[in-house]
């Protein structure tokens, strides 16, 4: 090595790079102006020689390539160039022959660009926005992005890990050698970046992180949009998708006065050998929705999760490859939108898997979770809990949520595990109280309010649903009213209570009718969505159909009765694992739900619901009313939970006519009867605290719906005349 070159070398710095403990390798490697010359330095451990090869260098007197000098036998090379502008160049690296198992291996030649020719690719304003917690598109900044930059095609890698000593990008493109591709830290931001020429979509990679205690760990990219499912710690440089999602998002999604019936789907139920799960869903679900009248489909977690535990998320940006590709998911969404059906995605920001290659202890500290296990670990599910006080965690989660709308045209998001977020002592024996000594997670509450406010600001028609099992008040109150700002709360308690009742032997239901009005005491506390045979409960306790008493005929009748009761009950509807509730029955119920104002207007207003009879133990029958401000909208529901046909009389609110419009026992649904054509007039018999009543015959294990029809003026005059005649003596002429 010539003396001038030797004097320019920073040997202490070189040692830091060789020992892979450098967070600013760009200050040493790559081109650096030294007076009128350019010092070029590169590190290729074990290389025999390195040649600099210029791209399209046709100027006379300038060589197209030059061999670099060996500065250190470990693989450090340097060259002094007689220019201040090195131009576009690449390296041709030759590794010497070596012995392996008694065989002489051939020389290996590697051609690659110089990552350190490209520094500070990220925008300073974007980085500042991220650190301040005001970035709702963090995945556009961090992660891996294939691009053309400064005359070369390659991939920009960026990761946030403020407490790491050193981070390297490792992959097939550099033999997974952490000494190569050491990333550059952007000052005090904690963001590391590196543009690597030649790395292309489909290339696998990880981040090799050296912690400050000198431990080394390999991690998946938190913002990677593709992960290898068979090894959740390996990320993939994603290819730009070719499919664009069609948006049908409208304010109708959140209109409290419209029908909302959601089909809850577990995408892993569609995994098969012939095609991807998303392709199978696209082939089956849109047509089934049209046939059954669903307004929306709620898709279970599609993000990469731990093997065998689909609700334990590993990556918040990568679609699970076991289900299919992002483009296949978009095709499925488009087919639903073409059918006029909205899409709601499950999203779990309450906890994450602590896989070794995942988010846990990402840079050697609790970057995403609380480092204190009393705050950052959930022993009951063996998962980590997010630290919602961190601005960068807020960026990470909010950007993930926004991606559903921005990229997959989501019409709604169901935020799962709200109770675990809200309470510091949820399922814990040891926990840390908040600053006021209470058990509410104030940081999580603040995060949820901010999330919902931000989403509603950009997407006013986005449906926001809270999957919450807690008694926390104000889940569906607006943020301005000190609520959490959700549109609806997923009411699992409804199904628990109703299941306990309907799964009793019909002989015992009469004495337990109080369970139905008991459940309705809290039915109007929030704006509820009622899950019927939900996926979560089915996985926990088994299928509702199998739990019902009686033979096959009785089970089918009770499933139809249960479906009728679901649609009669105030609250929006969700149907999950109930294959028996489908076809014409569900189609007719949905059409009735959409058509009748009493069923879809202000469902969570207690003024629009009245019990008529709910304590008839002998007959095990109940009756109630759904209504609006207009009496002509009123519907009367009568349900027979006994195993025999009943002649049942119930009080009614108004004098007038009552016409049957629906029965779950209809022959069209596999029953034994049909809708009665008889129009019943209310009589003057007092019952259930009413001055008027009607009598009906109702088949066992069935429900009927009756529509109120007011008298016409002419009919009313006749009724009045008849009543006067009935109660007024008439003078008779004496003979």
196-205, 323-332, 569-578: segment of lowest average pLDDT: 569-578
> Of all helices (H) and strands (E), which one includes residue 531?
strand 528-532
The architecture in CATH of the region 604-719 reads: Sandwich (2.60)
Total residue count of the chain as it appears in this document:
735
714 by Cβ neighbours in 10 Å (0-12 / 13-18 / 19+) ranks as exposed
Give the predicted TM-score (pTM) of the model.
0.91
Alpha helices in 481-640 (DSSP H): 492-502, 506-509, 515-519, 535-541, 544-547, 552-568, 583-595, 597-600
What's the CA angle centered on 352, arms 350 and 357, to 5 degrees? 160
9-23, 95-109, 418-432, 636-650: segment of lowest average pLDDT: 95-109
38-42, 56-60, 170-174, 334-338: segment of lowest average pLDDT: 56-60
CB 515 within 8 A of CB 523: no
pLDDT at 445 over 80: yes
Greater confidence (42 vs 233) lies with 42
pLDDT at 733 over 90: no
Query: pLDDT of 562-604, one tens digit each?
Result: 999 999 999 999 998 777 777 899 999 999 999 999 999 988 8
Q: Which of 417, 444, 429 is nearest to 350 (CA)?
A: 417
Query: pLDDT of 50-86, one tens digit each?
Result: 999 987 665 555 678 899 999 888 889 999 988 888 8
CATH class of 3-113: mainly beta
Distance (Å, rounded) from C-alpha 68 to C-alpha 39? 11
Query: pLDDT of 340-350, one tens digit each?
Result: 999 999 999 99
Superfamily per CATH, domain 259-425+436-490: Glycosidases (3.20.20.80)
Greater confidence (725 vs 30) lies with 30
CATH 3.20.20.80 in the chain, residue ranges: 259-425+436-490
CATH 2.60.40.1180 in the chain, residue ranges: 604-719
Which 3 state secondary structure label does DSSP give 261? strand
Give the strand pairing for 377-378 and 383-384.
antiparallel
> What is the dotted CATH code of the domain comprising 118-236?
2.60.40.10
CB 419 within 8 A of CB 160: no
CB 22 within 8 A of CB 182: yes
Q: Output DSSP code: residue 18.
A: H
């Amino acid at each position: 090595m010539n003396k001038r070159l030797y004097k320019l070398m920073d040997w202490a710095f070189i040692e830091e790079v060789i020992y892979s403990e450098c967070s600013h390798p760009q200050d040493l490697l790559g081109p650096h102006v030294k007076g009128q010359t350019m010092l070029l330095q590169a590190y290729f451990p074990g290389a025999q020689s390195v040649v600099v090869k210029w791209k399209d260098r046709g100027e006379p007197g300038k060589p197209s390539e030059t061999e670099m000098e060996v500065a250190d036998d470990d693989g450090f090379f340097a060259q002094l160039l007689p220019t201040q502008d090195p131009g576009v160049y690449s390296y041709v690296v030759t590794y010497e022959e070596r012995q392996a198992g008694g065989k002489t291996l051939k020389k290996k030649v590697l051609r690659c660009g110089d990552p350190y020719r490209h520094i500070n690719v990220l925008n300073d304003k974007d980085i500042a926005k991220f650190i301040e917690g005001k970035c709702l598109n963090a995945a556009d900044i961090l992660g891996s992005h294939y691009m053309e930059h400064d005359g070369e095609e390659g991939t920009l890698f960026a990761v946030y890990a403020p407490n790491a000593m050193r981070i390297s990008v490792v992959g097939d493109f550099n033999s997974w050698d952490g000494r190569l591709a050491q990333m550059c830290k952007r000052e005090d931001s904690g963001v590391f970046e590196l543009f690597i020429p030649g790395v292309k979509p489909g290339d696998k990679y990880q981040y090799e992180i050296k912690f400050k205690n000198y431990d080394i760990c390999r991690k998946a990219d938190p913002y990677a949009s593709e992960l290898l499912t068979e090894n959740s710690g390996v990320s993939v440089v994603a290819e730009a998708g070719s499919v664009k999602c069609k948006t049908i998002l409208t304010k109708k999604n959140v209109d409290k006065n419209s029908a909302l019936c959601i089909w809850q789907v577990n995408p892993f139920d569609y995994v098969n050998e012939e095609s991807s799960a998303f392709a199978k869903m696209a082939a089956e679900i849109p047509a089934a929705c049209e046939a059954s009248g669903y307004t929306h489909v709620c898709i279970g977690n599609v993000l990469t999760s731990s093997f065998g535990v689909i609700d334990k998320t590993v990556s918040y940006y990568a679609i699970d490859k076991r289900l299919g590709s992002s483009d296949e998911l978009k095709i499925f969404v488009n087919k639903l939108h073409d059918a006029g059906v909205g899409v709601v995605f499950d999203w779990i920001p309450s906890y994450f898997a602590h896989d070794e290659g995942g988010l846990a202890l990402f840079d050697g500290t609790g970057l995403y979770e609380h480092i204190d296990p009393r705050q950052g670990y959930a022993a009951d599910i063996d998962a980590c809990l997010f630290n919602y006080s961190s601005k960068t965690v807020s960026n990470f989660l909010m950007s993930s949520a926004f991606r559903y709308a921005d990229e997959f045209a989501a019409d709604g998001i169901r935020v799962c595990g709200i109770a675990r977020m809200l309470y510091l002592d949820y399922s814990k024996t040891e926990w840390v109280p908040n600053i006021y000594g209470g058990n509410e997670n104030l940081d999580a509450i603040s995060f949820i309010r901010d999330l919902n406010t931000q989403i509603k600001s950009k997407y006013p028609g986005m449906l926001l649903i809270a999957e919450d099992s807690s008694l926390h008040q104000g889940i569906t109150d607006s943020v301005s009213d000190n609520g959490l700002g959700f549109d609806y709360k997923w009411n699992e308690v409804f199904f628990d209570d109703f299941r306990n009742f309907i799964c009793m032997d019909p002989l015992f239901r009469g004495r337990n009718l109080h369970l139905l009005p008991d459940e309705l005491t809290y039915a109007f506390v929030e704006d509820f969505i009622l899950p019927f045979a939900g996926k979560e409960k089915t996985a926990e306790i088994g299928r509702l159909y199998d739990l019902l008493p009686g033979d096959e005929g009785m089970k089918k009748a009770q499933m139809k009765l249960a479906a009728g009761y679901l649609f009669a009950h105030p609250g929006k509807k969700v149907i999950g694992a109930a294959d028996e509730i489908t076809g014409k029955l569900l189609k007719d119920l949905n059409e009735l739900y959409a058509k009748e104002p009493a069923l879809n207007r202000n469902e969570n207003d207690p003024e629009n619901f009245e019990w008529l009879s709910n304590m008839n133990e002998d007959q095990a029958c109940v009756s109630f009313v759904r209504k609006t401000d207009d009496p002509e909208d009123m519907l009367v529901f009568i349900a027979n939970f006994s195993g025999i046909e009943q002649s049942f009389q119930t009080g009614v609110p108004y004098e007038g006519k009552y016409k049957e419009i629906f029965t779950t026992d209809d022959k069209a649904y596999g029953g034994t009867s049909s809708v009665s054509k008889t129009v019943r007039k209310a009589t003057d018999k007092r019952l259930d605290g009413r001055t008027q009543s009607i009598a009906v015959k109702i088949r066992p294990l069935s429900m009927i719906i009756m529509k109120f029809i007011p008298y016409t003026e002419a009919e009313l005059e006749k009724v009045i005349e008849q009543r006067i005649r009935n109660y007024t003596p008439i003078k008779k002429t004496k003979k």
